[in-house]
Amino acid sequence: MGIVTPFPTSAHQHQVGFDRRELGAILDLYGRMVAAGHWRDYAMDFTRDAAIFSAFRRTAERPEIRIMKCPDLRLRQGMWALVGEGGQTLKRGQLLANILAPVERRLIKAV
């Protein structure tokens, strides 16, 4: 019989991610922005410190916006951040809906 060696893991390794409700709200906004012709591609990045959703006008460019979830900042500035194309923080807060509001305003058109 052989010896089974467990896969090396650490109890401290974790990965920040979006839950179903959060991802649903983000992808709903993304779908409406695609339908309006503003965005064409997206990317998601999950690290130990943050989960990032990036939306692109074109695939080869820098992301137009990044929606970041950093749970370590939830007691300070808020765990959600909206980051612009140049890297500037446009909005930060505790609620995802408040972070998505400036982007949703772009969808409102005067009739």
For 21-40, the DSSP string reads: HHHHHHHHHHHHHHHTTS--
Q: Tell me, yes or no, whether 5 lies in a domain.
A: no
Q: What is the pTM of this model?
A: 0.80
Q: What pLDDT shows up at residue 111? A: 38
> Which range of residues forms the domain containing residue 53?
20-105
How many domains, the chain? 1
Q: Tell me, yes or no, whether 99 lies in a domain.
A: yes
Q: What pLDDT shows up at residue 108? A: 80
Instruction: Report the distance separating Cα 79 and Cα 54, nearest Å.
Output: 16
As a residue count, the chain comes to: 111
Q: Tell me, yes or no, whether 48 lies in a domain.
A: yes
Q: Tell me, yes or no, whether 15 lies in a domain.
A: no
Strand ranges inside the chain, DSSP E: 41-46, 51-56, 65-69, 80-83, 89-93
Q: What pLDDT shows up at residue 14? A: 77
Instruction: Report the distance separating Cα 44 and Cα 34, nearest Å.
Output: 16
pLDDT per residue rounded down to tens, the chain (111 residues): 678 877 666 555 678 888 999 999 999 999 999 998 888 999 999 999 999 999 998 877 789 999 999 888 888 888 999 999 888 999 999 999 999 999 988 888 643
Q: Tell me, yes or no, whether 40 lies in a domain.
A: yes
Q: Tell me, yes or no, whether 11 lies in a domain.
A: no
